[in-house]
Structure 1
Amino acid sequence: MPLHLLILQMILAVALTSSSMLAATIDPPEETPTPEESKTVDTRWEKRSVRAENFKSRFLLSRKAAEAGFVTETKLREERMQNRRDCRESVRKANRDQRFAKLTACMQEDLTRTMDMLKARSEVIAAVPGIGEELRGLIVARSDLLTDAIGTIIEALDTGVYQDEAELHEARKNLREKYLLPYWLLLPRMKTEQSLAWISHLLLRAKTLMESGSLSPAVTAKITESQVCLEEAETALQEGLEQKDSQEMHSIFGQAQSNVISCIKLYREAMSTQEKELAPPAEAEQEPQWPKRYLRKLPKSRNE
C-alpha cells in the first residue's frame, strides 16, 4: 500500500477516535494490508532502490561531461539548421546544370554534421546515470551502425557514386528507415529511464525523512504531497515504457516530465520549510545608541 494512503488512514483513524468513543467501539477495525499487497509494495521499493543506487554521486560526476556534450550537440544542430537554410536558397537559385552538384555538396555537409552530433551524444549517453546497461548498450550499438552508414554515404558522395537526384533520395530513405529510426526510437526510452531514476532517488529520500519522525506537520504535509505527485508520474512513465507507438511514448514522456518538474518543486518547498524551521533564531539587531547631544544656544540678536 503506498505511503501516502497509510498516512491518510492514520489521520482518519485519529479523527474518528477523538470525535466519539462510541463510534470507535462500533466501527470495524482498520484493514491491514494483505500479504500480496505488502509484497507488491516491497517489490516496488526494491526496484526504486536498484534504480537510485549511487545515482546522485554518478550524476554529479558526469554532469560536466554531459553539459559539454549537450553544448557541442546544440551548436552542431544550429549549424546544421543554418546549413539547410543556406542550401535550400542555393539550390533554388541554381540552374539545371548546377542543381545536382549543389544537392550533393549540401547532403555531404548535412550528414557530416549529423555524424558529429551522434558522436557528441554518444559521449553523453556513455556518462549519464539512470540508464540500464542493456538499454545503454543497445543505444551505443545502434549509434555505431548509424554512424558507419552515414560514413559510407559521405564516402559515396565524395567519390561520385550517385548519378542523379533519385539515387540521393533513395540513399536518404534507406538511411532513415534502416538506421536512423531504430536508433531514434530508443531515445524516449532512455529519457524515461533517467526520469524514473530521479523519481526513485527522491522517493527514497522522502521515505527516509518521513520515517525519521522529526518532521513538523507542515513539512510532513508537503512531503506527502510531493510523494503522491512523484508516484503518479512514476506510474505514467512506466506505462509509457510499455507503448509500442513511438509518438505515443513521446507524448506520455512529455506530459510526465512536466509533472515531475512540479513534483520536484513541491519537494524543494518541503526542504526549504524544514531548513527555515531548523535554522537558529536570528538575533535582533540593537539600534545604535547615539550619545546625547545638547544644542548650543544661539546668541541673542540686538533687537531682542
Structure 2
Amino acid sequence: MPRLTAKKRMKAALFLATPYAGAAILCSIIITGIHSTNGVPVTAQLTDDTDSATGDTIGQTLRSFQEQAAQLEWEARLQRSQQFRSDLQNEKTAFAALERHREQLQNRQTEHRAACAEEMRRANKFTKLPTALRCYAAELGLENDLLRKERAYLEVMAGISPESRSLALTRLDLLADAIQTITTAIESKVFQATEELEEAKGNLLQTYRQPYWLVRKQLQVERMQTWTASLMTRMAGIASEQEDGADTVQELMDVLYCLQQSETLLGGAALLQESDALHRALEQAEEHIRNCMSILSQSLPS
C-alpha cells in the first residue's frame, strides 16, 4: 500500500471530520496533529522508549486517550453547530427590530436627559424631588420599552442552550418587574426624600440590572462558542473538497488549530462571574478568532 504524504493524511482526517462521514471516526484528526500539546503533535511527543514493548504500550494508550478526546470534542462541535445557520436566519428580524429600537431609544434618552437636566437646574427645594421623580419614571419607561424588544430577540437568539435562554429571560423579567414596581411607587408618591429614591436606584442596579447584564454577556460567550464550532466544521468540509497537495489544506489545518485555542479562551471566559472581566475576555477571544481567520489566503473558496 502506498505511503500517504503528510498533506494527504491531513486531508483524509479533515474529510473524516465532516458531518457527512459521522462523528464516530473524528478521532483520526489526532494523527494529523490538530490535537497537540504545546503546539507539538502528539505523535511527535513520544519518547525514544516507544521502540520497546513498554514504550509501545504507553504510546498506544496515550494515542487512544487522545483519539477518544478528539472524537468527543468533534462530536460536541457537530452537535452544537446543528441548525445554527438556519437559526441565524430566523433571528434576523428580531435582531434588526432590536437594533432599530435601541438607536431610537438612545436619541430619545439623550433628549430626555438634557431636558431633565435643565428642569433640575431650575427647580427649587420644593420642586426638586417631584422633578427628579418624574424624570426618573420617564427614563424607566424608556428602559422597559427596550426590554420588551430584548425579550423578543432573546426568545429566538441563535447559538445558545435552552437553559441559558430560560435564565436570561428570567433575569430580564425580574428586572422589568422591578422597574415597574419603582414606577408604581413613584406614581403612588411613596418616595418622600431624595435619599429614598437613590436607595431604590442602587438596589435596582445591584439586585436586578447587574445580574441581567452578566447573563447577557454570558450569552454572547456561548453564542461565540457555537459560532466557532460551526466555523470549524465548515473549515473541515472545505478542506475535504481540496485537491491533494493543495496549500489550502495546510492553511485550514493551521486555522483549525488556531480556533481550538480560541475555544480555550472562550471556555475560560464562560467561567467568569464579573461583567467587566467577562467583557475583556470576550474581546480577547474575538480578536484571537479574527487573527485565526487572517491565516487563510485569498484563494480560499467562499
> Is the alpha carbon distance of 1:265 and 1:105 closer, same or farther for their aligned partners in structure 2, counting shifts above 3 Å?
farther
The Cα shift of 1:259 comes to 2.2
- Equivalent residue for 1:139, pick from 168, 176, 187: 168
State whether residues 160 and 222 of structure 2, in contact with CA within 8 Å, keep that contact through their aligned partners in structure 1.
yes
State whether residues 77 and 117 of structure 1, in contact with CA within 8 Å, keep that contact through their aligned partners in structure 2.
no
1:31-73: CA deviation from partner (whole Å, max 9, x where unpaired): 6652111111111111111210110111122212212212212
The structure whose Rg is larger is: 1
The Cα shift of 1:153 comes to 1.0
Cα distance between partner residues in 2 of 1:183 and 1:2? 44
Q: Which runs of 5+ in 1 are unaligned?
A: 14-27, 277-304
- Equivalent residue for 1:103, pick from 116, 132, 141: 132
Q: CA RMSD in A?
A: 2.8
1:1-304 equivalences under 5 Å are: 1=30, 4-5=33-34, 34-214=63-243, 217-266=246-295, 269-270=296-297, 272-275=298-301
Q: 1:293: which partner in 2?
A: none
Cα distance between partner residues in 2 of 1:2 and 1:160? 72
1:108-138: CA deviation from partner (whole Å, max 9, x where unpaired): 1111111111111111111121011101001
1:78-103: CA deviation from partner (whole Å, max 9, x where unpaired): 42244223323331232222211210
The Cα shift of 1:193 comes to 0.5
> Is the alpha carbon distance of 1:215 and 1:102 closer, same or farther for their aligned partners in structure 2, counting shifts above 3 Å?
farther
The alignment covers a number of residue pairs equal to 258
Cα distance between partner residues in 1 of 2:283 and 2:271? 15
> Is the alpha carbon distance of 1:37 and 1:160 closer, same or farther for their aligned partners in structure 2, counting shifts above 3 Å?
same
Give the TM-score of the pair, scaled to structure 1.
0.76
Matching residue's letter, 1:66: F
Cα distance between partner residues in 1 of 2:40 and 2:139? 60
More off after superposition, 203-212 vs 39-48: 203-212
> Is the alpha carbon distance of 1:5 and 1:230 closer, same or farther for their aligned partners in structure 2, counting shifts above 3 Å?
closer
Matching residue's letter, 1:102: T
Matching residue's letter, 1:72: H
Q: Which runs of 4+ in 1 moved over 4 A?
A: 6-10
The Cα shift of 1:216 comes to 5.5
> Is the alpha carbon distance of 1:258 and 1:167 closer, same or farther for their aligned partners in structure 2, counting shifts above 3 Å?
same
Cα distance between partner residues in 2 of 1:87 and 1:230? 49
State whether residues 4 and 227 of structure 1, in contact with CA within 8 Å, keep that contact through their aligned partners in structure 2.
no
Secondary structure, in 3 states, of the residue corresponding to 2:243?
A: coil
Matching residue's letter, 2:253: T
The Cα shift of 1:229 comes to 2.5
State whether residues 214 and 273 of structure 2, in contact with CA within 8 Å, keep that contact through their aligned partners in structure 1.
no
Q: Which runs of 5+ in 2 are unaligned?
A: 1-29, 45-54
The Cα shift of 1:186 comes to 0.5
Give the TM-score of the pair, scaled to structure 2.
0.76
